[in-house]
Amino acid sequence: MTENIAAATGSGPTAAPADESLVTARATELSASLTALTARIDAACRAAGRTSAEVRLLPVTKFFPASDIEILYGLGRREFGESREQEASGKVAQLRHLSQVRWEFIGRLQRNKAKHVARWADTVYSVDSDRLATALDAGTEAALEAGERHSPLRVLLQVSLDDDPERGGVRGATLLALADQVAASASLQLAGLMAIPPVDADPDAAFAELERVHASLLRTHPEATELSAGMSGDLEAAIRHGSTCVRVGTALMGARPITSA
């Protein structure tokens, strides 16, 4: 990608100052990939007999600089997904001048980081334990009292689609009990579910299971309408199975420097 930018900006004596031309090249690149991605999501919606308005795109900007977020903001995006607490907190501080941004925390969250994230996140996507929910509720209450935020924290419960505890997520009766707890928490708002299919799974089968779990949750929590499923590689399958929010990094931003988070 760095090579592409260098090639696109040229390096002759008439080229604009390096910083400016790099930003312009990156803006051109992100604008084109956003257009292509939006067309891809629209096509997936049409193929699934759904309207594009039913599926929201959450750009995932982890590992990419604040300058990329400013470019996407200029292209009309107002919601950004981040997955690493320290990196995200830094970008939030750097980008305070952008109004009406919604930061959405999509990664694994340690309990001791909950109070930091509760200061700036609109939504946390990865709640999978009663202790994490309790910590987020307390952190959000403190942030509300301090005037650092003005609305409850939206919470998505992370569903496990396999039995691997390493990958996070809950299922079955544990999931329903956690939903009850979040719904009853003063500073949290139960918004829905999120899942990441196991690496080797058939995405259609995994998302079909997720869709069934969501349907059963809606019976007791009709307010939990959000179903966040689908990433760069599998968003079509997710949209076939009721996703209301695709979280896309690579297909929009390009390859991340490292891929393990």
Ligand X SMILES: *Cc1c(COP(=O)(O)O)cnc(C)c1O
Q: Quote the least distance from Cβ 220 to ligand X, whole Å.
A: 25
> Of the candidates 44, 92, 178, 231, which one interacts with ligand X according to CB under 6 A?
231
Could you give the 3-state DSSP secondary structure of residue 70?
A: helix
Could you give the 3-state DSSP secondary structure of residue 12?
A: coil
* Residue pair 191/123 in contact by the 8 Å Cβ criterion: yes
Handedness of CA 258, 65, 114, 99 (dihedral sign): negative
Handedness of CA 147, 63, 80, 118 (dihedral sign): negative
> Of the candidates 26, 62, 91, 154, which one interacts with ligand X according to CB under 6 A?
62
Question: Considering beta carbons, is residue 86 or 99 the nearer one to ligand X?
Answer: 86
204 token code pair:
């259609």
Binding flag, residue 83, ligand X (CB under 6 A): yes
For residue 166, give every residue at least 6 positions away whose Cβ sits within 8 Å of its Cβ, in sequence order, or none: none
Binding flag, residue 106, ligand X (CB under 6 A): yes
Build a one-symbol-per-residue string for 17-56: x at contacts with ligand X by CB under 6 A, - elsewhere.
----------------------------------------
Candidates 14-22, 164-172, 200-208, 225-233: pick the segment binding ligand X (CB under 6 A): 225-233
Maximum distance among all Cα pairs of the chain, rounded to whole angstroms: 67
Question: Considering beta carbons, is residue 45 or 109 the nearer one to ligand X?
Answer: 109
Candidates 111-119, 133-141, 169-177, 244-252: pick the segment binding ligand X (CB under 6 A): 244-252
> Of the candidates 168, 197, 203, 249, which one interacts with ligand X according to CB under 6 A?
249
* Residue pair 58/248 in contact by the 8 Å Cβ criterion: yes
What residues from 118 to 177 belong to the interface with ligand X (CB under 6 A)?
Answer: none
